Amino acid sequence: MPTTIAQPFDARTDETLRTLDAGGQYKHLQTILSPMDAEIRMRTPEGKEVDVLCFCSNNYLGLANHPEVVEAGIEGLRKYGAGTASVRFICGTFEPHEQLEATIARYMGTESSYTFVSCWNATETLFPTFCEAGDMVISDALNHACIIDSIRLTSVIKKGVFKGVYKHSDLEHLETRLQEARDNADITGQIWVVTDGVFSMEGDIADLPGLRKLCDKYDAKLVVDDSHAHGVMGKTGRGTHEHYGMVPGGDAGLVDYFTGTLGKGLGGGAGGFLAGPKRGTELVIQRGRPTLFSNALPVTVACSANKAIEIVMREPERVQQLRDNVAYARERIGAAGFEILESPTAICPIIVGDTAKAIGMSKRLLELGVFVIGFGYPVVPEGTARLRIQMSAAHTTSHIDRLVDALKKL
């Protein structure tokens, strides 16, 4: 008789970790020792403490360490304590949640909004809650993992929900899918089309007006996860919809439902939201499993996020500063001889091809005092490994010059 019980998990996990390490794909976490900002202090995997320029955070407007955002969180902590100790519908809805949700609705131009502990959570709640048998969800092939998982979860929780994928940003292919759906006698319910507003690896944006037209033609609803666009896209940083003039009072049509994050441009703390017509947010309050069975966004975080969005609306010049920084950086990086993908966003990917090369360049940049992450296979397709530079309104031209000088030394 064996003296020990075999533990398959332990053996296979050790093997997975060994394989990742051998293939140069092992992620070593780098620890930040200061607030998130243009300049940060970090501890390298080798244990050295260094001051570096940060060009890989989503702190697009530099609000993560804004004094008013910090102070709002401290005030919230003093007034309401550390947590809600409850889900929203029992006793976890605090005044700052209501204030934040009103602010988000005003910011997004929607009738209502509802917050979650993350955008992942918001998106994961949306489709399983909204869909019923006979519905179909059609998704862009490059959509964020939380959209993909939300759709997968939907087909487990609600039997009889159909799913389809269209080639990335290919409206013709989407129309084929929509026509197939209309020709399918089993699809008797709602058709949903879902896309990222900004795609994070390339920095390209979805053709929302084109999607709106197709959705109207086939009576489908349009859902947009615009996490990378808040504080970035549109004249006042509302998002990709504002970039296209798809705001109330305009004549370009509207997005039906948004999900978004509070963990990027809007203060960078944590939290996510659903924004759209009240019937959708009300349904989520009544039926959303993560909202019924999981804690509310911490009040301190809600207070900081609320202040961050107020600052975006009060100081749209921050969005312009970001745009100026992006234009300057793109011009300088291009002039230094690097191939940089076209993008109207704050994401500037430099394609280098080989994964090991991207990782090596990122390492060398860190030695030169510039923190930029290299992405390779399997996060992006083989042969398209890249350095993903992300700009912030917090960067100065001198920061950008130092980035370009470091790039030139590679």
Residues forming the site for ligand PLP (CB under 6 A): 118-120, 144, 146, 196, 200, 225, 227-228, 261, 263, 272
264 is catalytic: yes
Tokens of 215: 């959705």
Q: Please, which residue, 337 or 378, has the CB nearer to ligand PLP?
A: 378
Task: Report how far residue 133's alpha carbon sits from residue 188's, in angstroms, rounded to the nearest whole number.
Answer: 8
Residue type, 157: I
Compute the CA torsion angle 283, 287, 292, 293 (nearest 10 deg).
Answer: -140
CB 169 within 8 A of CB 198: no
Specify whether the CB–CB gap between 239 and 259 falls below 8 A: no
Residues 6+ apart with CB under 8 A from 83: 295, 298, 299
* CA–CA distance, 260 with 309 (Å, rounded to integer): 13
The residue among 211 and 407 lying less far from ligand PLP, judged by its C-beta, is 211
Q: C-beta of 263: minimal distance to ligand PLP in Å?
A: 4
Contacts of 281 (CB under 8 A, 6+ apart): 112, 113, 114, 274, 275
Question: Minimum CB separation from ligand PLP for residue 41, in Å?
Answer: 23
Residue found under tokens 């100065």: 396
CB atoms < 10 A from the CB of 393, how many? Answer: 26
CB atoms within 10 A of CB 275: 27
Catalytic residue selected from 241, 264, 395, 399: 264
Nearest to ligand PLP of 121, 404 (CB atom): 121
* Least distance (Å) between residue 225 CB and ligand PLP: 4
CB 230 to ligand PLP: min, Å: 10
Counting beta carbons within 10 angstroms of the beta carbon of residue 298, is it exposed (0 to 12), middle (13 to 18) or buried (19 or more)?
Answer: buried
Of the residues 118, 169, 200, 362, only one is catalytic, namely 200
Residues in the chain: 410
Q: How far is the CB of 305 from ligand PLP (least distance, A)?
A: 11
Of the pair 208, 400, the CB lying nearest ligand PLP is at 208
Nearer to ligand PLP, 224 or 299 (CB): 224
Q: Which is nearer to ligand PLP, 136 or 146 (CB)?
A: 146
User: For this structure, is 200 an active site residue?
Assistant: yes
Choose the catalytic residue: 97, 221, 228, 243: 228
Residue 87 identity (one-letter amino acid): V
Instruction: Say if residues 55 and 402 touch (Cβ distance below 8 Å).
Output: no
Q: Is the Cβ of residue 119 or residue 361 nearer to ligand PLP in the bound state?
A: 119
Query: Is the preceding peptide bond at 378 cis, omega within 30 degrees of 0?
Result: yes
- Least separation in angstroms between residue 173's CB and ligand PLP is 21
Minimal distance in Å, beta carbon 106 to ligand PLP? 20
- The whole-angstrom separation of Cα 49 and Cα 41 is 7
Catalytic residues: 200, 228, 264
